[in-house]
Amino acid sequence: MYVKWEHRKARISPARARKTYMDEAELTRAAYNVVLRGGLVVARLVKSERHGKQVKQVVLAYLGSIREGRLTTPEDQLHFWRTAQAAMRNTGLKNEEKFKIDKQLQARVPKPTQQQIEDLDYLAKRPEALAYLPKDVRLARNTHQLADIVRELERGQNVRVMTETKGDTKLGYNIQSPFGKQ
């Protein structure tokens, strides 16, 4: 048993991609190009069986897929791993086999850290707090930084966030907590 990787070309039109990714993820132009770079990487669990003199590959399970340009983003990694782990639970594999397949998957798609998982789950439960942040702040920060900002706001703390520096001038936001002082 092993993981078979399949690479599919991106079959999404630029107009549709712009509408889908720009609206949902609020990506900048540079990030938009990264999302569409390459295609889809698909992982399948395959077993080889001998039929007479021929060896045939039998697909046991679809493990997951991820866009090639998004292999390093914690959100997409987490989605891939949750799909893969659910698929492996349904196959009835032994722990040794699951461990072997897990290592094969990790060679291509790294697992997000426990901190990244906690931050992503925290932010998923608070979409209104995340939407309260200015667009510049959401685009310029990683998941952990965004989670920390939202935690501060929920505690009733006002937050000062720097977005960029132009010469000697620092640009940023003073974000008032919508939750008030506690």
More confident residue, 181 or 130: 130
Dist. CA 59–CA 112, nearest whole Å: 27
Angle at 142 between CA 138 and CA 144, to 5 degrees: 110
Burial (CB < 10 A; 0-12, 13-18, 19+), residue 123, is middle
pLDDT, position 179: 76
pLDDT, position 30: 46
Q: Examine the pLDDT at 112 and tell me if it is beyond 80.
A: yes
Angle at 124 between CA 103 and CA 98, to 5 degrees: 20
Q: Examine the pLDDT at 175 and tell me if it is beyond 70.
A: yes
CB of 149 closer than 8 Å to CB of 175: yes
pLDDT tens by residue, 82-98: 999 999 999 888 999 99
pLDDT tens by residue, 37-89: 567 899 999 999 998 889 999 999 999 999 887 888 899 999 999 999 999 99
Q: Which pair of tokens denotes residue 16?
A: 């549709």
Q: Examine the pLDDT at 165 and tell me if it is beyond 80.
A: no
Provide the Cα torsion 83, 88, 118, 69; round to 10°.
-40
Q: Which pair of tokens denotes residue 95?
A: 């722990």
pTM of the model as a whole: 0.75
pLDDT, position 79: 94
Dist. CA 77–CA 96, nearest whole Å: 23
pLDDT, position 70: 81
